[in-house]
Amino acid sequence: MGKPTGFFEISRELPPDRSPTERVKDWLEIHEQMSEEKLRAQGARCMDCGIPFCHNGTMLAGMASGCPINNLIPEWNDLVYRGLWRESLNRLHKTNNFPEFTGRVCPAPCEGSCVLGINAPPVTIKNIEYSIIEKGFEQGWVQPSSPQKRTGKKVAVVGSGPAGLSAAAQLNKAGHLVTVFERADRPGGLLMYGIPNMKLDKKNVLMRRLRIMEQEGIQFVCNAEIGKNHPADQLLKQFDAVVICAGATKPRDLPIEGRGLKGIHFAVEFLARNTRALLDERKNGEYISAEGKDVIVMGGGDTGTDCVGTSLRHNCRSLVQLEILPKPPLERAHDNPWPQWPKIYQMDYGQQEAAARFGADPRQYLVTAKRFIGDKDGRVKAVETVRVEWSKDDKGRFIPKQLSGTEQVLPVQLVLLAMGFLGPEDAIAQQIGVALDERSNFKAEYGRFATNIPGVFAAGDCRRGQSLVVWAINEGRAAARECDRHLMGSTELP
């Protein structure tokens, strides 16, 4: 611990974001960088506490507490404070294959469980992580590293999202010949098409890492949808093992009156088409435009926020975000103690931008859609909303109850459904007989990740359900370890 008194001498400070009114004019990342002097000062705030809850990833009250990949946070915080950037990068890479991704898109459960956060603003862990890896790229320290020898074993990884990429990276380190199958036209999965460019730059950040992985010997096969245009049973014949990291890609629908009207889309379709068009320099003309439209986003999570930010960049006419849950409190509630994730009211980048444009947070809480109303051409023109209250049913479960007399009709020409995902698509399971659990996810015990089919493993959202990028990396790395053990009889992967 380089500075024992740093945590009460130095205040929490983050780098400034670009102005909301300026950044909505482009698709560049919204965050600015911080000076090295200020970063070292922020590293000094780390208390090096006796029990660092920040790096001990667990689930508390259904949410992540601490870092799921067990980043050695106090160690690299101290190394940054002392100016030992290369050493801090080495410690960071011991647990995290892709800190440039988590440093941008992870909600930082580590900060929610920081010991300093009990009675003071927590350490800026996420920004320090981001700064370490960017310093590494800037200095040329991040280079391809191919294995010294090959085992001759071939492994197929299905899906190139964060779980698939981390599994592929670890299996390649073990010396196996890894082929990653991706159904989209570009690798990256959720990272490529589920997260918009202003949060994670595709050409300068994501492709930078994918090129390194290719140079390390990993092969990517795109436009290959396993179970459809590429039979799943062929993988069992062509490879010694298969790791399924296909994600939870079934979006939750809203089956109410008028759902079939034109202009109602799943958020993932809206976001994916937009990013594809952006990368194609708008030459494909297939993106869903919010320009000049009244937009309603159904759902208040990260995906909903991304729909808000994207719609604003299209120059929508108006924007409302409907959230069926109540507005969170400004401070931790008594039943949400540290080190649980703090469920408090915050404005993310999209809401900040909407407030700058329209004068207020676009979210309406405890509100849902009752029916969609169409015009004579079958396009959505309005939505009837209704307020709800949450109460327990006869089984003790909380359910929303619509409040009669609170109906309201809002104009809309574009509705974006961002209400989460239900599980993986079932083509792979049907073709090779992978067992599913009661939630329709691939059945594979956490820690072992083996399915009922010998040599077939499952990891990430397709196994655990919709979750954080950092949990996907956790599972991809762990599944790679178990796959390596299956192939070789033992493993040295962490």
Please report the domains of the chain, with CATH numbers, ordered by start residue: 6-138 (1.10.1060.10), 154-249+422-488 (3.50.50.60), 264-417 (3.50.50.60)
Pair 176, 151: CB distance under 8 Å? yes
CA distances from 213 to 152, 168, 435 (A): 18, 9, 31
The CA-to-CA distance between both ends of the chain, in Å, stands at 26
Q: Find, among 266, 271, 353, the residue nearest to 315 by Cα.
A: 353
Q: Find, among 255, 287, 284, the residue nearest to 270 by Cα.
A: 287
What is the pTM (predicted TM-score) of this model?
0.95
Give φ, ψ of 8 to 5 degrees: -110, -5
Q: Find, among 295, 341, 337, 301, the residue nearest to 63 by Cα.
A: 341
Task: Please give the pLDDT value at position 399.
Answer: 93
Q: In tens digits, what is the pLDDT along the chain, a chain of 494 residues?
A: 668 889 989 999 999 999 999 999 999 999 999 999 999 999 999 987 888 999 888 888 888 899 999 999 999 999 999 999 999 999 999 999 999 999 999 999 999 999 999 999 999 999 999 999 999 999 999 999 999 999 999 999 999 999 999 999 999 999 999 999 999 999 999 999 999 999 999 999 999 999 999 999 999 999 999 999 999 999 999 999 999 999 999 999 999 999 999 999 999 999 999 999 999 987 666 899 999 999 999 999 999 999 999 999 999 999 999 999 999 999 999 999 999 999 999 999 999 999 999 999 999 999 999 999 999 999 999 999 999 999 988 888 899 999 999 999 999 999 999 999 999 998 999 999 999 999 999 999 999 999 999 999 999 999 999 999 999 999 999 999 999 999 999 999 99
Task: Please give the pLDDT value at position 61.
Answer: 84
Task: Please give the pLDDT value at position 284.
Answer: 66
b (16+ CB within 10 A) / e for 372-402: bbbeeeeebbbbbbbbbeeeeeeeeeeeeee
